Amino acid sequence: GAVVSQHPSRVICKSGTSVKIECRSLDFQATTMFWYRQFPKQSLMLMATSNEGSKATYEQGVEKDKFLINHASLTLSTLTVTSAHPEDSSFYICSAATDDYSNQPQHFGDGTRLSIL
Amino acid sequence: LAKTTQPISMDSYEGQEVNITCSHNNIATNDYITWYQQFPSQGPRFIIQGYKTKVTNEVASLFIPADRKSSTLSLPRVSLSDTAVYYCLVGGSYNTDKLIFGTGTRLQVFP
């Protein structure tokens, strides 16, 4: 099956640090990638949708200057949490889909647990 | 906005069949129904997807009635390793309004 690799799996850093998370589709071309955020015992919340070669589309309430998304190739998207603060601590998950994701499932990475001290 | 409703939790014993139902009253014509499984500190994993009637694969079956306003994930004989949260997701067309994960169902399997 399709494999999505997310790195790093865990980050612990000081407040004010910027953190970059990578999401790679290893065996297929992902025209579209999604970034989710999940708090403990809660569901996944979509943060943004990124399409290769264009600007990301952010969901309402998600600060685009805070969460920078780059999707420079068909196999790589990055999420940078800028000047992270303790309230940004969460589990961040990416997923990838082909262009026609209306009838193809998303393939998820294993998530990045971000802890800001 | 597309919205799904599932039971928050379910308990079962090893070897039993588990059926988890998801309601999606405002499903659109183009929407598919997809079920995912999530273990703690991992990303969701695809289980099964369908559009109508019945779909079966090596791990589960998905039953979708004619009106498509609900769907039922059936796990034939659960084991302890099936303890997880199960999400149904409706849609996935070019409208991200559809990419809304509901509360999910936390399945606990006991020995």
Contacts of B42 in chain A (CB under 8 A): 110-111
A18-59 residue pLDDT tens:
999 999 999 888 888 999 999 998 999 999 988 888 889 999
Which pLDDT belongs to residue A55?
86
Is the predicted pLDDT of residue A1 greater than 80, yes or no? Answer: no
- Collect all residues with Cβ–Cβ distance below 8 Å to B37 and sequence separation of at least 6: B44, B45, B47, B84, B85, B86, B87
Rounded percentage of chain B residues whose pLDDT exceeds 90:
76
- Which of A28-37, A89-98, B67-76 is predicted most confidently? B67-76
Check whether the bond before A8 is cis (ω within 30° of 0): yes
Contact between residue A60 and residue B96 where contact means Cβ atoms under 8 Å apart? no
Are residues A108 and B36, on separate chains, in Cβ contact within 8 Å?
A: yes
B25 touches chain A (CB under 8 A): no
Rounded to an integer, the average pLDDT of B6-14 is 97
Has residue B93 got a pLDDT over 60? no
pLDDT tens string B28-61: 888 889 999 999 999 999 999 999 999 999 999 9
